[in-house]
Structure 1
């Protein structure tokens, strides 16, 4: 079951969203638990780590959606936030809080369905700890516990796992976004590494437990060491 939150100061719109979610549930045989809030503050007061998808209205009295999202991000880097707005001018503001996307009011079911499908796939991925990749050979489900590192490969990227190497058509920044909230760090423009597999860091290289040596760029070394210290601290 996926937990969905609707936060909007218009009860009529909340009711419509609940109808859309019910219809989507019936069409896709997926179960949802729906929570509703009419203000950003009540959402924050009742925030739960089990929330997976949040539909958040931007224009609300007192605490608007952007500020609410900023406070949510201080508590939860994984939850999927989809903004609701009738004003396109607010769209760019959401990049600062890593919003998944926007839905423009008035909202049609067709547009809701497209965003909901993407959000559900990502929510399940976050919950189960895996990413999905497509290439000309097919579809791959990669569990993060097996993912050692990702590197740029020609015009694509190469995902190195404990079992095999898989070409991905995603860009590095897309992988970086998919892996937010997990113990991965970008140590170089061309590399993202799973900190679980880092054996040592010497100079401008890090060595994985499987023996591979990965370069560290000078610009990213400070962030790498800070992230690694936090990760190792949580493991002690």
Structure 2
């Protein structure tokens, strides 16, 4: 998950950026978490270093992108900054804030995708964690981050992943030491969910990667607390 902030005061340009980002996600099998701001003042107020990439318009009404970038750099030296502008002479000043690139308006998807490729190559990828499960006739190594949820049925654990479902003998207790409790939550006695893939929560039901799972009555408040804490941590 790449955390991106869009700072753009023009609604049409914001929508154009979001369309480009959506297309890039689909074409490159990457997932973005987007936060939108309508002015430089909005993002620098109570700024926290929770973004991997900031796409920043230079010309804005209250605090322009260059001034906003200077304030951001005082607090965050790692975030990648890309400027968008229709006045390239201003973008040249980007070296002062170590901006990676600038994109000219109107936004061309080709130039946008090239800038995104450069930006994502610099985003530090977290080290992958794996677990190994025993299948019929062999073993399977699973990328923990791609496990959407784990289900147990009659002493059979079913790992529902982005790459398919995999079954192994076991009980839910066998998963206790496999997953980070800040990211995975036991919502009832039969399901352990990856909070990253929770799409909606209504009443006692949650949608996890397209599947509906029930949260038991006693776990509803702890689940909400865990979900809110996780979302705040990853900047959703």
Q: Structure 2 length normalisation: TM-score?
A: 0.52
Give the equivalent residue in structure 2 for 1:10: 10
Deviations 1:81-138 (A, max 9, x none): 001110111122111110001101111111100000111110135x66xxxxxxxxxx
Alignment of 1:119-158 (within 5 A): 119-124=119-124
Alignment of 1:100-119 (within 5 A): 100-119=100-119
Contact 2:54 2:80 in 1 (8 A): yes
Work out the CA distance in 2 between the residues paired with 1:7 and 1:95: 19
For the pair shown, which has the larger CA radius of gyration, 1 or 2?
2
Contact 2:16 2:107 in 1 (8 A): no
Rate the CA distance shift 1:84–1:12 in 2: closer, same or farther, 3 A.
same
Give the equivalent residue in structure 1 for 2:36: 36
* Per-residue deviation, 1:46: 4.8
Work out the CA distance in 2 between the residues paired with 1:46 and 1:103: 27
Provide structure 1 residue ranges, at least 5 long, that are not aligned to the other structure.
Answer: 129-236
How many residues are treated as equivalent by the alignment? 127
Contact 2:5 2:35 in 1 (8 A): yes
Work out the CA distance in 2 between the residues paired with 1:26 and 1:124: 21
Deviations 1:68-92 (A, max 9, x none): 0000000000000001110111122
Give the equivalent residue in structure 1 for 2:98: 98
Deviations 1:43-83 (A, max 9, x none): 11252322010110001112111100000000000000001
Work out the CA distance in 2 between the residues paired with 1:114 and 1:49: 25
Give the equivalent residue in structure 2 for 1:64: 64
Which structure's relative contact order is higher, taking Cα pairs within 8 Å and 6+ residues apart? 2
Deviations 1:174-200 (A, max 9, x none): xxxxxxxxxxxxxxxxxxxxxxxxxxx
Contact 2:58 2:83 in 1 (8 A): yes
Work out the CA distance in 2 between the residues paired with 1:91 and 1:33: 26
Contact 2:7 2:38 in 1 (8 A): yes
Rate the CA distance shift 1:120–1:9 in 2: closer, same or farther, 3 A.
same
- Give SS of 2:119's match: helix
RMSD of aligned alpha carbons: 1.3
Q: Structure 1 length normalisation: TM-score?
A: 0.52
Work out the CA distance in 1 between the residues paired with 2:121 and 2:47: 22
Give the equivalent residue in structure 2 for 1:21: 21
As a proportion of its length, which structure holds more helix?
1
